[in-house]
Amino acid sequence: MNKRRAARELALITFSQLEKSVKKSQDVNIAEIIRKSTEVLITEAENNLNLTVKELEKIKNYVQTYEFEHPENMEKPYDEATVPVAIPMTSDMLGRIDEVLSAAGRTYSAIELTNLASLGEIEEVKDYAVKIVAGFIDNREQVDARIQEHSRGWNVERLVKIDRDILRIAITEILFFEDVPASVSIDEAVEIAKKYSEPESSKFINGILGQVTRTVNPS
């Protein structure tokens, strides 16, 4: 994960903790909120890994019990070692394989969260995340007006929160960060939406940001 994307994802998490009453970036310690966000990420990663281990232990116990209670082993003398037996590919086993895949997914998620949390300790990442959050707070009305203008009559506050916050990050960059090409902001927003939101959200976000960019740079 590159540093700028890590910063955007940290900003996304930070947005969920901002009070609506905050009108100026100076009125809130954004860096402290980001620090707490990284602690939340680490805790979530630990929980995901714990769930993974528990699921794998359950499957291991199932296989061991199945082997021990199989007729081939039940008929053997008590002092003889159990022998491996075939496990039938029943719907039950397929379900357990799905549990393993789910556990593997949680492991991957935990690694991603841990990486993101560790990147949050890098000054460059933290500074850019703070810049995004501060840029939005100080220009909230203008940013939300752009979303309202291009969201086909939907009230900004009624949009799915994560989609709204992804839009807020990208539009803040498009309007106020001259060193970031609009195309980069859009691409990053789409990728973050694919990662964190619903499947159709990335198209919705791409469409709105495309319209915003055309109004900002009509040429």
Q: What does the pLDDT average to over 130-139?
A: 95
CATH at 199: 1.10.940.10
Q: What does the pLDDT average to over 154-182?
A: 89
- Predicted model pTM: 0.75
20: pLDDT strictly greater than 80: no
Predicted pLDDT of residue 58: 86
Question: In this structure, how many other beta carbons lie within 10 angstroms of the beta carbon of residue 141?
Answer: 8
56: pLDDT strictly greater than 90: no
151 and 91 part of one domain: no
CA dist 168 and 165 (Å) reads 5
Q: Which of 140, 169, 168, 164 is nearest to 8 (CA)?
A: 169
Mean of all residue pLDDT scores within the chain: 85
CA dist 145 and 212 (Å) reads 11
Predicted pLDDT of residue 146: 93
170 and 87 part of one domain: no
204 and 161 part of one domain: yes
Predicted pLDDT of residue 155: 65
Domain count, the chain: 2
Residue pointed to by tokens 């794998």 = 56
196 and 117 part of one domain: no
* Confidence band of 212 (pLDDT split at 50, 70, 90): very high
CA dist 143 and 21 (Å) reads 16
Q: Regarding predicted confidence, which is higher, 25 or 136? A: 136
